[in-house]
Amino acid sequence: MSVRPSDLDPKIADRLKRDPNGLVPAIAQQYDTGEVLMLGWMDDEALHRTLTTGRCTYWSRSRQEYWVKGESSGHQQWVKSVALDCDADAILVKVDQVGAACHTGDRTCWDADVLDAVVGERPEPAL
């Protein structure tokens, strides 16, 4: 596993379950509406920077470098809270998104390709 040097608190780092590249998926969600915005990847240092700067920092798998969301586009993500899931193999970052979250210019990365699916209905509770 590839883990780059980081100042992340060892108590957090020891809990993370990373992929073979040392990365953990990070979901960005609009803090006040619950809208799911995007999925990015964080390593220990990206998580450390996110926790300590108030801005979302991700690891770019294509460019092999850190990037702060909105640094060049102006479409920033301001951190409101950060949580690990129960297995510590995913990160949820609740943010205040400025502008588009998707690199295509869309508000979210989930608008463009909605798939047809059978909609399930929860059964009525038994009396």
**CATH code, residues 10-97:** 3.10.20.810
87 known ligand binder: yes
Residue 9 is assigned to a ligand binding site: no
pLDDT over 60 (residue 1): no
Residue 56, marked binder: no
89 is in an annotated binding site: yes
Name the token pair of 96.
């205040």
Q: Quick one: CA dihedral 93, 75, 24, 47, positive or negative?
A: negative
Instruction: Report the predicted TM-score, pTM, of the whole model to 2 decimal places.
Output: 0.89
Sorting pLDDT into bands at 50, 70 and 90, what band is 2?
Answer: low
Mean pLDDT lowest among 35-44, 71-80, 100-109, 111-120:
111-120
Q: Where are the domains of the chain?
A: 10-97
Task: Kindly give the pairing relationship between strand 91-97 and strand 24-30.
Answer: parallel
